[in-house]
Amino acid sequence: MTPPHACGAKPIPSGRRAARPILDKLGGFLAGSMRTRRSILHLLVLLLVGLASTAEAQGYSRAAERVLSRAFTATGGSGWYLLRGWRETGRRGDLAYESWIDPLRYGLRTETREAEGLAVHGFNGLADWRVGSNGAMTAVNDHPTVAKARTEAFFAVNGYFFRGRFDARGDYVGVRRLGRRAYEVVRIQPWGGEPRELWFDQRSRLLARIVNRTGRRAAALQVTDYRKVGPVLIPFRFAPEPGGPADPLARQRESLVFTPVTRDGFSLNRPDELAKVQAAKLSH
């Protein structure tokens, strides 16, 4: 005879007893899945917020766009879009130089004739490299060095006229007076680079001054000697103002031709660059 169960409870069939642990495990799995999905959603929200913040950090204000659009029109307008590269020669102080610049994406190469021979500096958008006249080579991609190279390449090619190619932030500073002239000032910082103040003459709409305030003392360049080259108007003289520190953008252009550039010259090819420096030393 089967004994009665306490409190009149009915016995649980063996099938139900076997299913209960499975249900418990399934419930735990579902709860874990919900927690995982919540974590993924949380990470996606953080990612979207970060992307939105980055987007807000780039771009030009309407006032800055207005000033730059006037300068763009005054120096050739749509003629700028015809450029596929340029090659310039000139002097930086007492040293002769030759540069190749890419207006389509970051790329800069400069060969300088120093007293000891040829020195080469290149930047391909990712790494900055140099070959000294003695053959010593350096290639780095740390942020401070790349930021300086990116800044030089951006402003050397008037990157603010190609806002669909080079990410940057541009803010309108306001009207400033210097001597008898008034200027509209825009502060532009290329993405991953350093900011510069660009002073545009209110009358001519031309860039007349570049100010670097990232150092202990402000460094200013006077931008003059505009000449028509092909479809655009280009300044040939970037002269440091008296009493200011040196600036890598300072130079006197002597010749300029617009011609497509090859990207190979912007990256370091150690054997080729060393052979070129050694050949220049032999002929020096």
* Tens digit of each residue's pLDDT (9 = 90 or more) over 86-124: 999 999 999 999 999 999 999 999 999 999 999 999 999
* Tens digit of each residue's pLDDT (9 = 90 or more) over 200-258: 999 999 999 999 999 888 999 999 999 999 999 999 999 999 877 778 899 999 999 99
pLDDT at 36: 55
Structural domain boundaries enclosing 126: 61-283
Residue 38 lies in a domain: no
Cα–Cα distance measured from residue 136 to residue 48, given in angstroms and rounded to the nearest whole number: 45
Tell me if 258 sits within 8 A of 242, measured CB to CB.
Answer: no
Q: What does the pLDDT average to over 71-77?
A: 98
Tell me if 223 sits within 8 A of 238, measured CB to CB.
Answer: yes
Q: Could you tell me which of 109, 142, 113, 107 has the C-alpha nearest to residue 125?
A: 107
Residue 113 lies in a domain: yes
Residue 18 lies in a domain: no
**Number of domain units in the chain:** 1
pLDDT at 174: 98
For residue 193, what is the domain's CATH number? 2.50.20
Residue 136 lies in a domain: yes
Residue 29 lies in a domain: no
Pairs from 272-278 (Cβ < 8 Å, separation ≥ 24): 273/120, 273/131, 273/137, 274/131, 274/135, 274/137, 276/118, 276/120, 277/117, 277/118, 277/119, 277/120, 277/131, 277/132, 277/133, 277/135, 278/135
Instruction: Tell me whether residue 30 is exposed, middle or buried, using C-beta atoms within 10 angstroms of its C-beta: 0 to 12, 13 to 18, 19 or more.
Output: exposed
Residue 8 lies in a domain: no
Enumerate the H helices of the chain as residue ranges: 14-57, 62-74, 143-156, 270-283
Residue 258 lies in a domain: yes
Residue 140 lies in a domain: yes
Cα–Cα distance measured from residue 196 to residue 38, given in angstroms and rounded to the nearest whole number: 44
On the question of pLDDT at 79 being above 50, the answer is yes
* Tens digit of each residue's pLDDT (9 = 90 or more) over 10-64: 444 544 454 555 445 545 544 555 555 565 555 444 444 343 344 445 799 999 9
Q: Could you tell me which of 215, 181, 218 has the C-alpha nearest to residue 199?
A: 181
Tell me if 119 sits within 8 A of 274, measured CB to CB.
Answer: no
- Tell me the chain's radius of gyration from C-alpha atoms: 31
Q: Could you tell me which of 273, 276, 255, 277 has the C-alpha nearest to residue 264?
A: 273
Assign 62 to helix, strand or coil: helix
